[in-house]
A and B are shown apart, each in its own frame.
Chain A
């Protein structure tokens, strides 16, 4: 995975691919979260296969692509009408594909916005979060401009999430796929984070339309809720 969906951590893909190539290992990267946020150069990287998705770059849900090195042979998993050179049968979802194409045209502009504007908001957010005592996961690592994953010791993440939702802020406790479960993030556990801390993790992911005012208002709400929950915890102790 080029950029992690929960932590935003960007892997050193050139080094990984170089290493794999020296051992004749074929490489695939899931670049779903990376496209539109950092520059991705398929040819330059020399990766053999790369996954990209429409609905993470402001295109419609239900369309994605696999970019393949011409020299790679694949065995298809969907059989039938032989569309996409036989590699993926099924009538093409034309409307979504057109939308995906249009979304791709804006990718370069979005990268500039994410790294010039949105990253500033993320840094502001993280400075304040740390002031409140939060731990920012993978803080020192190169990460996407829009994503921050954090947790407070002694504050229950799901309580904070619900409180913020009531105030009108839609954030997540991890990836959408696992938002129905109360298990700690498998990403954080794999990184060696203590289960107690991982359990309460919250993800804020911003976009090109996020305004500075929104971030400031969110921070006010966050401060208020964090302080309220800290007092409650102190009272219970």
Chain B
């Protein structure tokens, strides 16, 4: 058990999950304790109250992304939304062709769902992004084949925070009649999303990356032109048959409230977080041999991913216990493999291994940033003192040219 008297580290892992906003939690509680009805129960007020709350929340989610509420399907989270979109649309439109395009730096929920389609006989192309993490539109265009049925590209990368040009990619897909799915789990509340303008057919959302609860998400399914998907969960016929299962009212209410707050506050909030990001960036780049991973301009203010050369990432994370960060995504943090995202950008194993993802958000304070900078300066200095590679680098040895003895 954790020692409760021990102070918790400063949270800088907002891309793994955000704290639930207290306003969200407050709104959820009555739907656990009092209004506990099943929203599918049409025969009494317990059900009606729950259903009304679910529809209000659907409106809020739709409003944030400028969609029609009827285009929002509730799911258990972005993983389910991604699985439903990729498998559901590929299967429904399989007569058009069996080729899928995605990107090497996608979240595992997209990569593994696309791999599953491979197992079912589909061919796939994973585009390698440029060293700045962004997709070269020409490479995307070249990947399109006459039998391409679906393309899936995430809006904001979970590890490096870069924002892809969804509008341009969507236009290419639209011209070729390819279903375009976008994983926007890391984008809501951080970048403006206008689905009336964006040529996107399917879009995945998550509540717990935007100050809502874990265990709820949504899939946007375009109505005009109408996109069809094959349900992946059967029974009950909830969500117009696209996703069966009793709706978790309090969870959905929480997501609605979280998305309402995001819509109303994202502008001022992002300006504040941008300042913090720049402060962190200028503080950390005072340290020698640091490399920012991913484009710094086309990037959300919440993310900073930096490689500290000549320091091993896992030892660094152990050394900076005062802040909670990660070396990659939460899903892969159990493995000691270097991030596949950084590898896809062409980073060397050494640099990929020495990376830290700082992700900040609504409750990050300026003093937290200053503390993190001081802590890293101190610990990196100490770790490098112990590093023979650092010593060689200081002595002017070009490590690229060193011929290591074979063992």
Contacts and interface: CB of A to CB of B under 8 A. Distances in A.
Given A79-B112, A80-B107, A180-B40, A61 B248 contact: yes
Contacts of B244: 177
Interface residues of B, number: 49
Interface string B37-52: 1101111111100000
Contacts of A177: 40, 235-238, 244, 246
Interface stretch (B74-82, B93-101, B191-199, B277-285): B74-82
A93 B213 contact: yes
A207 to B, nearest CB: 11
A180 B237 CA distance: 11
A161 B43 contact: yes
B237 A82 contact: no
A95 B44 CA distance: 28
A78 B251 contact: no
B375 interface: no
A89 B112 contact: yes
A74 interface: no
Contact of A165 (B44, B80, B115, B238): B44
A97 B271 CA distance: 36
Given A60-B32, A63-B215, A78 B80 contact: yes
B43 A89 contact: no
B76 A89 contact: no
A81 B44 contact: no
Contacts of B293: none
Contacts of B42: 179-180
Tell which of B38, B216, B330 has the most Cβ of chain A within 10 Å: B38
B250 interface: yes
Contact of B214 (A91, A175, A176): A91
A89 B214 contact: no
Contacts of A99: 32
B246 A82 contact: no
Contacts of A91: 17, 77, 79, 206, 208, 214-215, 330
Interface string B259-272: 00000000000000
A62 B39 CA distance: 13
A95 B238 contact: no
Nearest to B81: A90
A171 interface: yes
A77 interface: yes
Interface string A128-168: 00000000000000000000000000000000010001000
Contact of A171 (B43, B76, B232): B43
A95 B250 CA distance: 11
A173 interface: yes
Contacts of B47: 170, 176, 179
B42 to A, nearest CB: 4
Interface in A59-109: 60-63, 77-83, 89-96, 99
Interface of B: 17, 32, 37-38, 40-47, 76-80, 82-83, 107-110, 112-113, 115-116, 206, 208, 213-216, 232, 235-238, 244, 246-251, 329-332
Q: Give the 5 A-B CB pairs with smallest separation, nearest first.
A: A93-B215, A62-B248, A80-B109, A81-B331, A170-B44
Interface of A: 55, 60-63, 77-83, 89-96, 99, 161, 165, 169-173, 175-180
Given A62-B248, A96-B215, 4 more contacts: A165-B44, A165-B45, A170-B43, A170-B44
6 contacts: A63-B248, A80-B331, A89-B79, A94-B215, A96-B251, A177-B244
